[in-house]
Amino acid sequence: MNYCVIGFPISHSLSPALHNRAFRKLKVRARYTAVEVAPSDLGLFMRDFSSKYSGANVTIPHKEKILDFLDELSPEVRAIGACNTIVNRGGKLFGYNTDVLGFMDALKSEGVRNLKGKNAIVLGAGGAARAVVYALKKMGAHITILNRTLEHAQKLAKNFGQNFGGLEDFNKLKCDILVNTTSVGMWHKENKKYMSEAPVSICHCERHCFGFGRPRPRNDMIIMDIIYRPRMTKLLRDAKKAGCKIITGDKMFMNQAKRSFELFTICS
Ligand code: NAP
């Protein structure tokens, strides 16, 4: 059986190492590879997908576009409009989204179970942001989506009945939990500089600038980056220096991968 992860770029992905290790451990005769698929080649790649692969993970930037090539969508994929796991059942392609539970499991493992009445800021409005906004809304948060391209943030905010703005609005907003879902800060084979960047800058001054400059204990603010390579992004390093509670992206990555693996093996 062959499985893969498709994305563009894809060299940052740790999915092949993780899934191949799990296959070996459970003595499942299967192979998992990383396939770089440029956005313009997605249709071509999907044309003979079902004759080659038993399943796949889908990452940046295909999570939304992939829906056009699937036969059945899970209720979550339908609600979110993004898919990160495909299972091939007898030539029929089923789409799932394990990012939602992966994200919620990561928060739970850090003791965050309920965000009723809390202000959340989500940076980014791509495929992963859709899952994160859906999960935060389920947990009761009021969400503002900030993105480089305003139309993308507006569209996502409208889908979920939330607020939106540009990345430059970050320091004007109240924030109990910030989640970075942009790819800024991610390890990139061709662009090493990308890794030393952060989507927003976090102030380290003594005036406790978050939340309209109101003094507040820094350690009750949570900053999560869903990027998992590197584990400590610039955003998280800055947040740690500022005294915030940080959550690394590897927690979400491990949890979503575990749920994808179950779909590939147990439920197939
Ligand atoms: P995507 O659909 O391509 O979305 C990328 C987002 O990043 C968009 O909002 C885009 O803004 C923004 N962005 C890209 N370059 C930017 C720049 N130079 N400055 C500002 N914003 C920029 O990708 P995705 O699938 O959502 O994945 C995003 C990241 O999350 C990736 O690093 C991925 O590895 C990570 N991820 C981690 C997990 C995990 O389990 N930990 C799960 C899913 C994803 P525009 O709208 O303006 O283009």
> So what's the pLDDT on residue 268?
52
Which range has highest mean pLDDT (82-91, 170-179, 192-201)?
82-91
CA distance 128 to 167: 17
Mark whether 54 and 138 lie in a shared domain: no
pLDDT: is 156 or 220 the higher one? Answer: 156
Per-residue DSSP letter, 81: S
89: its two tokens: 């059942």
Does pTM surpass 0.85? Answer: yes
Q: Which amino acid is at 98?
A: T
Mark whether 164 and 43 lie in a shared domain: no
Mark whether 206 and 77 lie in a shared domain: no
- What average pLDDT is seen over the chain? 91
Confidence of residue 188 (pLDDT cuts 50, 70, 90): confident
Mark whether 123 and 243 lie in a shared domain: yes
Mark whether 149 and 218 lie in a shared domain: yes
Which neighbouring-strand residues pair with 94? Answer: 72, 87
Whether residue 209 has pLDDT greater than 80: no
Which of these ranges, 9-23, 180-194, 203-217, has the smallest mean pLDDT?
Answer: 203-217
Mark whether 141 and 127 lie in a shared domain: yes
Residue position matching structure tokens 């990561």: 106
Atom of ligand 1 nearest to the CA of 199: 20
Mark whether 119 and 145 lie in a shared domain: yes
Element at 179 (helix H, strand E): strand 177-180
- How far away, in angstroms, is 25 Cα from ligand 1 center? 32
Whether residue 200 has pLDDT greater than 80: yes
Q: Could you report the per-residue pLDDT of 65-74, keeping only the tens digit for each? A: 999 999 999 9
Mark whether 120 and 225 lie in a shared domain: yes
Query: Ligand 1 pocket: which residues have CB below 6 Å?
Result: 59-61, 63, 99, 102, 124-129, 147-149, 152, 181-184, 186, 199, 226-228, 249, 252-253, 256
Mark whether 191 and 115 lie in a shared domain: yes
Residue position matching structure tokens 């060299």: 11
CA distance 228 to 13: 9
Q: Taken in order 125, 113, 106, 95, is the CA torsion positive or negative?
A: negative
> Would residue 63 show up in a list of annotated catalytic residues for this protein?
yes
Mark whether 6 and 64 lie in a shared domain: yes
Tally the domains of the chain: 2
Confidence of residue 221 (pLDDT cuts 50, 70, 90): confident
CA 218 to mean position of chain CA atoms: 25
- How far away, in angstroms, is 82 Cα from ligand 1 center? 13
The sheet that has 245-247: what strands, in order across it?
163-166, 142-147, 119-123, 177-180, 222-225, 245-247
| Catalytic option among 52, 63, 65, 245 | 63
> So what's the pLDDT on residue 204?
57
Mark whether 62 and 110 lie in a shared domain: no
- 54: number of Cβ within 10 Å: 17
Asked whether the beta carbons of 115 and 143 are under 8 A apart, the reply is: no
- Residue 67 Cα distances to 7, 72, 268, angstroms: 14, 9, 20
> What angle (nearest 5°) sits at the alpha carbon of residue 80, between those of residues 50 and 16?
45
Domain that residue 149 falls in: 100-252
CA distance 26 to 2: 16
> So what's the pLDDT on residue 216?
45
> So what's the pLDDT on residue 184?
95
Mark whether 114 and 83 lie in a shared domain: no
Q: Which amino acid is at 251?
A: K
Which of these ranges, 63-72, 166-175, 177-186, has the smallest mean pLDDT?
Answer: 166-175
Select from 181, 178, 160 the least CA-distant residue to 169: 178
CATH number, domain with residue 144: 3.40.50.720
187: its two tokens: 């390890």
Q: Could you report the per-residue pLDDT of 151-168, keeping only the tens digit for each? A: 999 999 999 999 999 999
CA distance 22 to 177: 33
> So what's the pLDDT on residue 207?
47
